[in-house]
Amino acid sequence: MYHGTLVFATGNTNKVKEVQALVGSDVAVKSLHDLGYFNELSETHDTLEGNALEKAQFIFEKFGENCFSEDTGLEVEALNGEPGVYSARYAGPDKGAEDNMALLLEKLKGQTNRKARFRTVISLIIDGKEFRFEGIVEGQILEARKGTAGFGYDPIFQPTGYDRSFAEMSLAEKAPISHRGKAVSQLLEFLKFF
Ligand code: IMP
């Protein structure tokens, strides 16, 4: 089992709490705020892998602490993987989830292939060495929004095998089948046997 501290290279304290609850007391998960770092981390690559590594590497080099970071994208088959790494700012730099969903629905108008997947990549750096984990949930883009829970593209994404969108699921139901949940459980398995 990995013992000690791991910095989660994110400013989102909810994500940090979620992971801390999963790893138990052997590992202390710290956020960037715990390190006194409050800036946005740059994401200058055009792949999830590139951005995840960039963020983890930056923090490892700056603070010398073992750390991990994640990057997520929604990949739509008929759009050659768009919006992918640009999911958060698909409709423009200062647009939100509503605009992103509207743009995606517009681009898929009349399209019968609605296959899509969420993909999360986690980059973990221990003593300067990178380990990578991936979580994928397959599904489809609905014709219209359904449900109000969750965030981002949840109202228009329906995972395969379910007749409800992510936004119609509770967090307890979504978490274990989601991209992020799967990537985090891979990370936890790795830490268990480290
Ligand atoms: P991040 O890397 O976790 O910040 O995710 C990037 C973008 O992908 C977010 O801004 C959302 O638009 C989208 N996204 C990530 N995870 C989810 C999810 O679980 N549901 C819906 N949208 C998501």
CA-150 nearest atom, ligand 1: 20
Which residue of 53, 101, 119, 151 sits with most ligand 1 atoms within 8 Å of its CB, as the best mutation to test the pocket?
151
Spell out where the chain has E strands.
Answer: 4-8, 27-30, 67-76, 82-84, 115-126, 129-141, 157-159
Q: Provide the token pair at 30.
A: 């710290």
Query: Is pLDDT at 11 greater than 90 in this prediction?
Result: no
Using the mean position of ligand 1's atoms as its centre, give its distance from the Cα of residue 63 in Å.
27
User: What domains, with CATH codes, occur in the chain?
Assistant: 4-192 (3.90.950.10)
Asked about 71 being catalytic, the answer comes back as yes
CA-120 nearest atom, ligand 1: 2
Q: Is the CB–ligand 1 distance for residue 120 below 6 Å?
A: no
Query: Is pLDDT at 12 greater than 90 in this prediction?
Result: no
Query: Is pLDDT at 19 greater than 90 in this prediction?
Result: no
Using the mean position of ligand 1's atoms as its centre, give its distance from the Cα of residue 86 in Å.
10
20: phi > 0 → left, psi -120 to 50 → alpha, else beta; which?
alpha
Catalytic residue among 34, 46, 71, 163: 71
pLDDT bin (cut points 50, 70, 90) of residue 26 is confident
CA dist 108 and 193 (Å) reads 44
Q: Which residue, chain included where needed, has tokens 């969420």?
A: 118
Express as a percent the part of the chain with pLDDT over 70.
100
